[in-house]
Amino acid sequence: MNKIAIAIHGGAGQNSEFIEANYDAYLEGLKAALEQGYALLQKGSSALDVVEATVRILEDNPLFNAGKGSALNSNGKVEMDAAIMDGKSHAAGAVSMVTQVKNPISLARKVMSNTKHVHIAGYGALELAKLNQLELMPEDYFIVERQINDLKEEKSYGHGTVGCVALDASGHLASATSTGGISNSLPGRVGDSCMIGAGCYANTQCASSCTGDGELIIINVIAHRVALLMELKGMPLQAACDNVIRNIDNPINGDVGMISVDVDGNIGFSFNCDRMHRAGIDHSGNMVVDIYEKGSMLRPDK
Ligand code: ASP
């Protein structure tokens, strides 16, 4: 079989008591999603199908800040963003300010495949979801206690945006990113996750998905920058990811993380903060599942 590889993330940022208390559940959630995505690749599914299916699993897991478990804005409402990109065709679809849609990543895919547009926001996104008969849920389905507490404490962080990048057996790459955004944000705020080139990008050489402080990721156009460094400077994947994270213009001193996969099945992880929930299986079948700086499936000594 040709080389296949997959990497996922479940958000990057500061550590928290909640993450520590749910450490094992986070690792299990990451591992389960990773293994399901990898099994699809082994069966010959396309990278595009795999990143969508894997992100759906993470959206359904309330521990992550996407789909069920999304962050609440300052009005106490959930507004979700998502994007998907096919590295082979460079086709992309994105949605922002999405309500009620159980799996926003599938709506992003519909934008890509069923419309002539790249990005649909707000009420139009909801109408498109209805038109395509995507599953809708009442607003309280998305709301979990952790996010209510973060809002009460006026914490402005993301905690668990999700993403997946994959290389399929035909040598094609894809990327998908989905988020509930940042807690306590202004209503209508749109982050990087649904911005092609910033929080999500794929071409024929690499695919990347980002997480962290969206404003910083947007102004640094991070996912696309990795592709440029590989293409124009010939950098290997991990070096390109590290270079981008190290050299971000950091006027607001934020947290940023990214996952990438290249056409040879290498995977790259890079982040500038306490933790990035992440997992991957590279071209040789090596698996990593981790949250903090070091180790694999092992809690670091604190
Ligand atoms: N990047 C996401 C946003 O700004 C949040 C996160 O990744 O935690 O919407």
Distance CA 227, CA 190 (A): 23
Specify if 43 maps to a domain: yes
Specify if 299 maps to a domain: no
Distance CA 122, CA 142 (A): 16
Q: What is the CATH number of the domain that holds 179?
A: 3.60.20.30
The pLDDT of residue 298:
33
**Residues spanned by the domain of 234:** 5-12+29-66+76-286
Say which amino acid occupies 123: Y
The pLDDT of residue 200:
98
Q: What is the pLDDT of residues 157-176, one digit of tens each?
A: 767 999 999 999 999 999 99
Specify if 138 maps to a domain: yes
Q: What is the pLDDT of residues 172-216, one digit of tens each?
A: 999 999 999 999 999 999 999 999 999 999 999 999 999 999 999
179 belongs to the catalytic site? no
Specify if 217 maps to a domain: yes
Q: Can you tell me the mean pLDDT for 245-250?
A: 85
The pLDDT of residue 159:
72
> Which of 59, 64, 80, 179 has most ligand 1 atoms within 8 Å of CB, for mutation?
179
Q: Which residues line ligand 1 (CB under 6 A)?
A: 11, 65, 158, 161, 179, 181-182, 191-193, 199, 211-212, 214, 217
Whose C-alpha lies nearest to ligand 1, atom 9?
181
Specify if 21 maps to a domain: no
What is the CA(191)–ligand 1 centre distance, in A? 6
Cβ contacts of residue 145 below 8 Å, gap of 6+?
A: none
What is the CA(40)–ligand 1 centre distance, in A? 27
Which of 17, 8, 28 minimizes the C-alpha distance to 257? 8
The pLDDT of residue 302:
29
Specify if 302 maps to a domain: no
> Which of 59, 150, 192 has most ligand 1 atoms within 8 Å of CB, for mutation?
192
Q: Can you tell me the mean pLDDT for 11-19?
A: 92
Q: Number of structural domains, the chain?
A: 1
Whose C-alpha lies nearest to ligand 1, atom 4?
214
What is the CA(299)–ligand 1 centre distance, in A? 25
Q: Quick check: 300 pLDDT over 50?
A: no
**Tokens of residue 52, six digits:** 């969508």
Specify if 292 maps to a domain: no
Q: What is the pLDDT of residues 88-116, one digit of tens each?
A: 999 999 999 999 999 999 999 999 999 99
The pLDDT of residue 296:
34
Q: Which of 54, 99, 161, 177 is catalytic?
A: 161
Q: Quick check: 293 pLDDT over 60?
A: yes
Which of 24, 58, 76 minimizes the C-alpha distance to 211? 58
Which of 153, 182, 190 minimizes the C-alpha distance to 70? 182
Confidence class of residue 1 from pLDDT cuts 50, 70 and 90? low
The pLDDT of residue 249:
80
Looking from the CA of residue 191, the nearest atom of ligand 1 is 9
Give the residues across from 121 on adjacent strands. 96
What is the CA(291)–ligand 1 centre distance, in A? 17
> Mean pLDDT across the chain, nearest whole number?
94
Specify if 163 maps to a domain: yes
Q: What is the pLDDT of residues 130-156, one digit of tens each?
A: 999 999 999 999 999 999 999 998 776
Least confident of 122-126, 154-158, 227-231: 154-158
Q: What is the pLDDT of residues 57-94, one digit of tens each?
A: 999 999 999 999 999 999 999 999 999 999 999 999 99
Residue that wins the pLDDT comparison between 273 and 199: 199
**Tokens of residue 300, six digits:** 């670091």
